Amino acid sequence: MSIRTKVAALALAAAVVALAVEVAGGDPQVATLAVLAAGVAIGELVVLHPQGRAALPLSFAVFTVLVRAGSPVQVVVVVVAAELVASVLRAGPISVRTRAVLFAERCAEAFAAGAVYNLVTTLGRNREELGVVVLALTLAAIAPVVVADLVAYARHREIAPFRARSADLAIVTSGILMAVGYDGIDGDGRLGLWGPILFSIPLIAAWYSFELLASTRRSFEQTVQALAAAPELGGLVREGHADRVAELADSMGRVLDLSSSDLERLRTAALLHHLGAVCLDEPDEGFTLDPVEVAMAGANMLRASEVLAPAGDVVAAEPLLHRPPGVADPPPAALPGMILKVASAYDELTEGDDAHASWAVEALYTGPGYVYDGRVLGALERVLVRRGVLDAR
């Protein structure tokens, strides 16, 4: 079942429940909570995919409306029910354990929003005063994002940079507007459920924009992957070399605390560091291509593109890091270039088989200090130990 079908089914179910309650003359609050529960479940299926940070579900914005529309008990019941439905409908081959962990995370994020909102309104003298309402809704909208960031930090030991926070801004501001539209302030401006529906339009537009950006990003990554395969298809390098080097270099860069932008250009450079070989003449029998010529040819190709130019600097730096002692002024992108150099050398020594990890690392350490940087070799060791292919010293 596609996402569109699931979203349509949830929306239809909410409409049917709301209509049934109205026809039966039941409590209108039940209909409201049913619609918001559907909104939470739909928001779990429709997510923003910003670059440089984890995906953000649109349900975060609905949490802000829910904590204003219902009592704490009602919030708990609605969130648990909606998240259970979302766990069942969530797409992909996801294990039961993963679904359970995600269910617990979402509940914690929703309950954090409710706790913050109730705390602020309780401390405020007038719960419907403009300043109290805006502060309570703002903090309630931010709370799920903060909890999500804490969970991400606990897993990956990194926090998304501010430049990747545009999706957070869309979620928070839309949630505040939707909640204000629902209940107004001090009895004025109340739109009921029409408020969240109307003010969700900017959020949906933001989702569409992020989907277009994600699609463009996927196209870029697929193009890089296709270019990376060219030297392998031509028999110039071992099959899978580029992917293995890119994965290893990325892990080493994280150990060395490279920024997200440096990691991105390092990964691209690792995938394309042998691309220059395809435009050089085939060497005479018994000879191999000069690595400096390969790197310079590839770097020049990449530098012809504004987007790929930073990766070209890393590729160009790799062979130039064979510096004898006393030579100052390392080339630009020296650290990413050294990471790429070590990762590529390791893969060539092991021939893509981690069973040879131990002696490959020893071989790299026996080289002169100006050939392989000690910090980078240490990062390689740490990555291999984490993978379980190398014993800790």
Q: What percent of the chain has pLDDT over 90?
A: 23
pLDDT at 76: 94
pLDDT at 329: 46
pLDDT at 328: 47
What angle do the packed helices 96-123 and 59-69 form, to 10 degrees? 40
The β-bridge relationship of strands 56-57 and 47-48 is antiparallel
pLDDT at 62: 93
pLDDT at 60: 93
Instruction: Report the Cα 373 to chain-centroid distance in Å.
Output: 30
310, amino acid identity: P
Question: What are 85-139's pLDDT values in tens digits?
Answer: 999 888 777 888 888 999 999 999 999 999 999 999 888 776 778 888 889 999 9
Domains of the chain: 3-199 (1.10.1760), 218-387 (1.10.3210.10)
pLDDT at 248: 92
Cβ neighbours of residue 245 closer than 8 Å, sequence gap 6 or more: 270, 271, 273, 340, 343, 344, 347
* φ/ψ (deg, to 5) at 244: -65, -45
Pairwise CA distance, residues 28 & 22, whole Å: 7
DSSP string, 268-316: HHHHHTTGGGGGSPPPPTT----HHHHHHHHHHHHHTSTTTHHHHHHHH
Share the mean pLDDT of the chain: 84
pLDDT at 370: 59
Low-confidence ranges of the chain (pLDDT < 50): 324-325, 327-330, 332
CA-to-CA dists, residue 262 to 48, 320, 331, 346, angstroms: 24, 19, 15, 21
